[in-house]
Structure 1
């Protein structure tokens, strides 16, 4: 396949340029500083992948739409799927939405997850692209774009919101971070590491993940209600009220608890040995 990646000169575009090249495919890239324009790339490629920031994705799709034909397979690497897939379906091309659930700093695709949303594509054409991910060691999960965005409102939206809330709480309390870290055990170091990792990255990535997903507001409203429920249980001073809430949540997670325990123990051992 000849694969063209719009936005292929940085971030995920650079990573997947290497992934597709290593798999034996010819890769073309376009970006702000490349001799090749987006239009040139589309004309020269059979598979076109849009790998640009969330808020730029739909405008870029609409920019190249007049150049696309039924012979093209159009994909995107956006963290949201409903809006990009809808925009791609307005073109004549076959459409396969993609969301790599990792960042460009990974050393390989081994044990990583890629979500695929095959919207209008021949199975053999989708398989040709997805096989590259699978053969590189990634797990591919297929789902509907709307379901993807509902899940991402929790997987990404709720997680990032909670992380930023924890960071903001510590900032408001003027917590002495060196003193805090000096008394943390590995399990709490893991939580602190996640906060530091997120805050060390680009806010222009996380803002749209929270702000552009229409499923996020309901999740945040539910988060506020859950936080209020826990607070009332704590402030009640009644051990049974708290235990009842704890058991209710534990029952919801019952099937996952053994795996969670095993995975977290492995992380704790790894950090402790480090």
Structure 2
């Protein structure tokens, strides 16, 4: 149990690949995988015989059946093992794993496979179903993941996910369909963009994120969680109510809309939580404004050590360049970048000198710059 051998069922999926890297590089463990897409060196039975911890990271709709197949293949040899799954639903996968003789824990990292080495800053739901001897190792794994772990029963998880995932995804999928139907008449997405509010930008970011992802995941989140359909009925019911009130249009309808859809919900949320949400929205608005700064550069710092950022900032200080904003984020490849917005009055040639100095002095690598600067660099 100190150095268990890890098995990944679904090793070629996005989370399978991330978990392999995590277990090998973060925890120093040996990993074996099986996946119909390019990882068939071991049969199901051989994989079970080889490992101590078996992790199921298959597509949501197939996971319970895959687990039951592995139970049949194991035929009792899994008695001393720990079986985990990382599916977005928990009742069905956990129930399937409990038909085995292994210890069983259901996991749900609340994000796509990250670009970073750990799950720091992300929640992970932990559903302990049958856990005894493997508890110390599981705790070490959870600590190494750096996730914000929340414990829950499998049914509680699925009920919550109907809201956290099902409701949010459904709302934005519907928004995408409305855009498809109505946007062409007002100039398309490009025609709408100059009119964007903070709320529209945030909503569209979520919608585009969903549309850019694997559609099978969003399908399965709607179809495989039994608590989603009742939630959708309530959501559509409230939208239908709003539609009827707006269509009516009189003062009484306005009062009912305010009372039923605003005042009651605000009372439930509470004044403090509502104020905190409003402040968070304002902060995101300022962030979006910073990210829309017309003059900026993005820099990758290869040396992650104290003083690296100070050395970067000194380049601007030496040239009298005033900074409007600085934010850290990760690129699509997972590199940690600093996006630096500079004063619009800054001379483009001075900023280009700073960019050259950043690379010439080995401080970092400029990976992006605003068009007015990069075009003449």
State yes or no: 1:79 paired with 2:95: no
Between 90-99 and 55-64, report the one with greater CA deviation.
55-64
SS in 1 for 2:80: coil
Select 1:273's aligned residue among 273, 290, 311. 290
CA distance in 1, matches of 2:146, 2:280: 20
Aligned length: 273
Q: What TM-score does the superposition give when structure 2 sets the normalisation length?
A: 0.69
Q: What TM-score does the superposition give when structure 1 sets the normalisation length?
A: 0.93
Listed one character per residue, the Cα deviations across residues 199-218 of structure 1 (whole Å, up to 9, x for unaligned) are 11111111111011111111
Give unmatched runs, 5+ long, in structure 2: 292-377
Between 231-240 and 99-108, report the one with greater CA deviation.
231-240
CA distance in 1, matches of 2:143, 2:286: 29
- With a CA cutoff of 8 Å and minimum separation of 6, indicate the structure with the bigger relative contact order: 1
Select 2:214's aligned residue among 188, 191, 202. 202
Q: Specify the alignment match of 2:44 in structure 1.
A: 38
**CA contact 1:31–1:37 (8 Å) conserved in 2:** no
1:251-262 alignment to 2 at 5 Å? 251-254=267-270, 255-262=272-279
**CA contact 1:96–1:126 (8 Å) conserved in 2:** no
Q: Specify the alignment match of 1:118 in structure 2.
A: 128
Counterparts in 2 of 1:259 and 1:43: CA distance versus 1, 3 Å: farther
Select 1:57's aligned residue among 46, 55, 63. 63
Listed one character per residue, the Cα deviations across residues 84-106 of structure 1 (whole Å, up to 9, x for unaligned) are 11111111111101111110144
CA distance in 1, matches of 2:142, 2:194: 41
Listed one character per residue, the Cα deviations across residues 150-202 of structure 1 (whole Å, up to 9, x for unaligned) are 11111111111111111111112244111111210333211111111101111
Counterparts in 2 of 1:172 and 1:125: CA distance versus 1, 3 Å: same
State yes or no: 1:100 paired with 2:103: no
**CA contact 1:118–1:126 (8 Å) conserved in 2:** no
Q: Specify the alignment match of 2:31 in structure 1.
A: 27
Give unmatched runs, 5+ long, in structure 1: none
State yes or no: 1:242 paired with 2:257: yes
CA distance in 1, matches of 2:127, 2:71: 19
**CA contact 1:130–1:140 (8 Å) conserved in 2:** no
Counterparts in 2 of 1:208 and 1:65: CA distance versus 1, 3 Å: same
SS in 1 for 2:255: helix
| Structure 1 residue 130, shift from structure 2 partner | 4.1
State yes or no: 1:221 paired with 2:233: yes
CA distance in 1, matches of 2:143, 2:276: 24
1:86-235 alignment to 2 at 5 Å? 86-107=95-116, 108-122=118-132, 125-175=134-184, 176-234=188-246, 235=248
CA distance in 1, matches of 2:142, 2:18: 12
